Structure formats: C-alpha cells, structure tokens
Amino acid sequence: MKKFLKYLLLLIVAIVLFCGLFYKFWFLRQPARNVPHDNHLFISPANGVVVSITRWDKDYLAVTKGKYGLITTWAADVDTAGYMVSIQMDPTHVHYQRSPLDAKILAHVHSKGNFNNALKSDNPYGIRFENEHNEILIETPDSNKYKIIQIAGFVARRIEDYVVPGQDVKQGDVIGLIKLGSQVTVILPHNTTIKTKLGETVTDGESVIGEVTAR
C-alpha cells in the first residue's frame, strides 16, 4: 500500500510539473512573426481557425437585433456596413493578440459574462456572445476604424489587455492575451476586401484577413 501511495504521489507531482512546464514554455510562447508592415493589409490579431465570415449592414443588423443584438453593439462605432470575422483558438495555438494595423487605441471596454465552451457554440457565427469579453476599438491614420474582441472560453477565465486609450500601436505589436481556449472576433469596415476563408488557420501578426481600400 505504501509503495502504491508513493507511485501515486510521484505521478501527481509529474503531472503537475508537466502542466506547469506546458503552460510556461508552450502555452505562453510568443514566437517572432514576419509582420508585413503594410497598412493596406489587415493582419490577423490572433492564431487560430477562421470559423465565420459575416457581411453586415444596417438591414442585416436590424434582422439580427433580436437574437444577436451584441453584433449591433460591436459594429456601431466601426461603420454602417462591413465584415465580422471570428477566429477560434484551442490550447495549442498562440494566445497573444497583436495589432492588425498601425493605429491609435480609441477605447477598450470589458464586459463580464459566462465562461461557456468556445468550441461548442450553437449559432452560425461560432461566437459565444454570452461569454466575458473585451472590446478594443482602434483607428488608423486614414480614419478607418476596426474592433478586436477578445472572448473568454470554458477554460480561459482571464483576458489581459495591454493597451490604453490614446496609445499608438504598430502593426504586429502585442496588445493582449487570452489564457487557454478562447476566441477573437474582428469587426472591419465596408472598404475591406476579405482575403481569408472559412476553415483557414491564421497566424497572429502574419496572415492577411483583409485588404483595405480607399473609402
């Protein structure tokens, strides 16, 4: 019995040690990225899989207002039409978020909510609207506005935001972190040509989500 308890204790210590090392050296990794440094390209703020691409305008928002009213809230200070792209992350992805463009931080708003499993959303957007989230609104030098929304998941119960209103950020700068499985949704204005596709795995700081054209 003593021998069994000894092996059990060693197994528990090994598991705890493995989890600690995985978290510190794998999950919190921040690999260098080949940032394009081109403000005509909206690069992905997150590493994960694109699970939805939605074209929206005033009519679309009016139809979805009842059940998915949060889309209207998210889009209201970006444009009157545009795109919403959602990226889903699991524990194997890099969980730091990067600025998609050279821009100024206009605002950030944290909203409390649930921590439901981000991998089992039952709506067509793949977004856990009811979960805790953080909105970061940015504006580029040519007056285009965009929003990056960090969404917590079942395991991810902490969202970190590294920016403050009035701060200038460069394309590829680290702006936040969501711990463990989670989502990032972006709201883009109408003068964006989407360059990603459903099911694509995008890389933070490198993959192009959209190409920005003149208004």
- What does the pLDDT look like over 24-53, one tens digit per residue? 556 667 889 999 999 999 999 999 999 999
Residue 12 and residue 95 in one domain: no
Residue 76 and residue 24 in one domain: no
Residue 157 and residue 169 in one domain: yes
pLDDT of residue 196: 97
Residue 21 and residue 47 in one domain: no
160 beta partners? 177
Residue 18 and residue 102 in one domain: no
Residue 191 and residue 101 in one domain: yes
**Model confidence band, residue 185 (pLDDT cutoffs 50, 70, 90):** very high
Which of residues 178 and 144 earns the better pLDDT score? Answer: 144
Count up the domains in the chain and report the number: 2
Domain residue limits at 143: 33-212
Looking at the chain, which runs of residues are DSSP E strands?
41-43, 48-57, 81-89, 96-98, 103-111, 133-139, 145-151, 159-161, 168-169, 174-178, 182-189, 192-194, 201-202, 208-212
Residue 145 and residue 83 in one domain: yes
Residue 110 and residue 159 in one domain: yes
Residue 98 and residue 51 in one domain: yes
Residue 1 and residue 52 in one domain: no
Residue 2 and residue 50 in one domain: no
Model pTM score: 0.86
For residue 82, pLDDT over 90 is answered with yes
Q: Is 99 a catalytic residue?
A: no
Check which CATH number belongs to the domain holding 112 and give it: 2.70.70.10
Catalytic, out of 44, 99, 121, 182: 182
